[in-house]
């Protein structure tokens, strides 16, 4: 697989603005390991190989154990996630799958997130999920190739 085009080169101002927004979003008080778990899960759902690769590496740098990283896709059945992580991952799945209909972000999902996060952290979590979904759309659409896959491509 090869990249279709390089967005950062063709729309540098817009790309730099996204990078700045991502930097602000990532500098919230949310724990870094939780942020990376959210980014990995959204990227898995969206099928963005580039973002799964990048944020898996970032999660490891943030101290996420391999066993927890491998279990992100099955977090509902995995006992290694705390209540805050479960609430964040559930909200991530709901926001990422908005187009699948149903109750979208169900009241139970929202209430679980509210129970774990204050308003400021919940707003930061919503922005984090929004940002990774935006990056995933760029990565999937342009077929960004992860650096670690370069030799295999």
Task: Report whether pLDDT(2) > 80.
Answer: yes
pLDDT over 90, % of the chain: 84
| pLDDT attached to residue 104 | 87
Contact, 21 vs 124, CB < 8 A? no
Q: Which residue has the higher pLDDT, 3 or 46?
A: 46
| pLDDT attached to residue 150 | 67
Give the number of other Cβ atoms within 10 Å of residue 85's Cβ.
21
Rounded CA-CA distance 103/124 in Å is 22
Task: Report whether pLDDT(31) > 60.
Answer: yes
CA 60, 17, 69: angle at the middle one, nearest 5? 15
Contact, 135 vs 102, CB < 8 A? no
What mean pLDDT, rounded, does the chain reach?
A: 94
Contact, 71 vs 100, CB < 8 A? no
| pLDDT attached to residue 1 | 72
List the domain boundaries for the chain. Answer: 31-143
Task: Report whether pLDDT(49) > 60.
Answer: yes
Return the closest-CA partner of residue 94 out of 44, 36, 22, 42.
42
Tokens of 134: 């935006």
**The domain 31-143: what is its CATH number?**
1.20.1290.10
Tokens of 29: 């008080």
Residues 97-152 pLDDT 10s: 998 877 789 999 999 999 999 999 999 999 999 999 999 999 999 998 887 776 66
Rounded CA-CA distance 91/85 in Å is 10
Classify 105 as helix, strand or coil.
coil
């Amino acid at each position: 697989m090869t990249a279709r085009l390089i967005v950062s080169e063709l729309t540098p101002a817009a790309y730099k603005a996204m990078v700045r927004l991502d930097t602000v979003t990532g500098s919230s008080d949310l724990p870094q390991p939780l942020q990376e778990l959210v980014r990995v899960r959204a990227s898995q759902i969206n099928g963005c190989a580039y973002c799964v690769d990048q944020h898996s590496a970032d999660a490891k740098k943030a101290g996420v154990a391999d066993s927890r990283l491998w279990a992100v896709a099955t977090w509902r059945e995995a006992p290694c996630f705390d209540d805050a992580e479960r609430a964040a991952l559930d909200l991530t799945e709901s926001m990422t799958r908005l187009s699948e209909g149903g109750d979208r972000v169900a009241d139970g999902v929202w209430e679980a997130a509210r129970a774990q996060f204050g308003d400021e952290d919940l707003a930061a979590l919503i922005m984090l999920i929004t940002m990774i979904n935006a990056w995933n759309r760029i990565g999937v659409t342009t077929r960004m190739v992860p650096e670690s896959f370069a030799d295999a491509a």
